[in-house]
A and B are shown apart, each in its own frame.
Chain A
């Protein structure tokens, strides 16, 4: 937000005086901070609290003793098989694969739709955009039939293939490439560069920030998927984190501490990613403000 610097040189204390709504503004921002962060603090504190204390009124916030056993129960599961560890790996594998395919296919498709003039590209684009409106529950059963016919049940292929690409990825990359100067491409063609080389050597290397942003969005949304893995992953070895959580919660409704431990563990990889790459996380939003060339 560097462009806003000229507006933000004012020291914190001067705010209420400079802007009439400052005190109220601080209150609003503060309340929002409490609302967004408190549930997270609740999750973490409850995860190290003996289950009996969590539903005490008022909520103690600070545990009387550190119940790290919650974490053991969360990881070990009811049968001490530690299958959760495998499920975390699955989530990482599936989300990373989907991220890679989304980025490559999204770039290829977006590039084709933005920088080529063939007939029908608008229709293709519109049809792809229309898929954003399809609720997953609608196509769940036909999709399941497709997946089983292709022999993809209970496999990584089944978890990954239906999400290899999404309309948002195409949209975002097309937006990005529409501002890419065509002269570069023409010059490269005059130099006798092949189309594949152009895509690989000129287009992709110049897509850094957009790729980072799309990668994070793709990873995050895949990390979140529940219904499909629930259907397609049948053995415990193939399940992903959200499926594990639903299962754990169904078996241990009253073991609040362990449930919050599961929730915390499930969130750690995303938090780590978020902290290291927060620039790109929040940058993802910028694509919306991209104006036409």
Chain B
């Protein structure tokens, strides 16, 4: 098997391989039981017309569930809701964190304080966040008061929970609020890892602050940005609790019926567990495609200092 090693080294190599495998075994067992088995189970279920409470042997229907979904308006609406949420949240997070991190790196005092303050919402749990924002977005809550004071439009109800567009914005705001500090800090850490000699050279060349930022910092941040993007995009595609708690509190379902919520409702409320599984598999594929694209684009032009 390992022909390139001489005999003695081979046994050493083999014993090391054994140790390596031994060390990885607990993780393999863990992921098999708690991740791979459930997902294979979901894949298998997606090929059946299974109802959640039924004792009867479900009919094998091949790809029927997938075909149904691809022709279903409600499913495509969920794809739309998920993509809109992901794009909206993730792009605004990315843009603002790049901007704010750039600004923070320039101020001499208060940077540490601001970072900490921005990060604070991230330590709150999602349930707490939703509870707070449900009160803030109440018609009598401070969201309306804030906007009305700012725009001098007293007494207008901006209908955060009912207007089809604004309810989507509301879900994004909750997410944005929770993660902006985290993003800012990630970007700052990325900036800190850029060698300062590059800036010194640029300063000698006469580049001012913003030029330095756009020409040096920004492109060199790419590896950081790509990694963060993938992680946070996956988080956004998986978003569930905010939308779930919003609809439970009376928000209309359609505008924020993200795929995970649709999976949940199809499986639990409508009992169609086969169809819900098919939806999960499609979501999984969507995530894989996005990840692949991002990795691909980041690989093509690796940055080197």
Q: How far is the CB of B134 from chain A (nearest CB, A)?
A: 8
B209 within 8 A of A: yes
**Which candidate, A62-70, A78-86, A204-212, A240-248, is the interface stretch facing chain B?**
A240-248
CB neighbours (8 Å) of B104 from chain A are 29
CB neighbours (8 Å) of A256 from chain B are 135
CB neighbours (8 Å) of B20 from chain A are 112, 115-118, 121
A187 within 8 A of B: no
The dominant DSSP class at the A interface is helix
The dominant DSSP class at the B interface is helix
Across the interface, A281 reaches (CB within 8 A) one of B123, B124, B283, namely B123
**Whole-angstrom distance between the alpha carbons of A10 and B237 in the complex?**
41
Beta-carbon contacts under 8 Å, B65-114 to A: 96, 99-100, 103-111, 114
Would A124 and B24 count as touching, CB distance under 8 A? yes
Interface size of A in residues (CB-CB distance below 8 Å): 104
Per-position 1/0 for A27-42, Cβ under 8 A of B:
0110011011111101
Per-position 1/0 for A135-170, Cβ under 8 A of B:
111110111001000000000000001101101101
Would A161 and B136 count as touching, CB distance under 8 A? no
Measuring CB to CB, which residues of chain B are less than 8 angstroms from any residue of chain A?
13, 16-21, 23-24, 26-28, 30-31, 33-39, 41-42, 52, 96, 99-100, 103-111, 114-128, 131-133, 135-136, 138, 140-142, 145, 177, 180-182, 185-186, 188-193, 196, 199-200, 208-210, 223-224, 227-228, 231, 234, 237-238, 240-241, 260, 263-264, 267, 273, 277, 280, 283-284, 287-288, 291
A-B contacts, 29 listed (Cβ < 8 Å): A4-B192, A8-B105, A10-B106, A19-B106, A25-B106, A28-B100, A28-B103, A29-B100, A37-B117, A40-B120, A43-B128, A59-B141, A115-B20, A131-B35, A133-B234, A137-B240, A137-B260, A138-B39, A142-B37, A241-B125, A242-B126, A245-B131, A246-B127, A266-B125, A266-B127, A270-B123, A273-B123, A281-B119, A282-B119
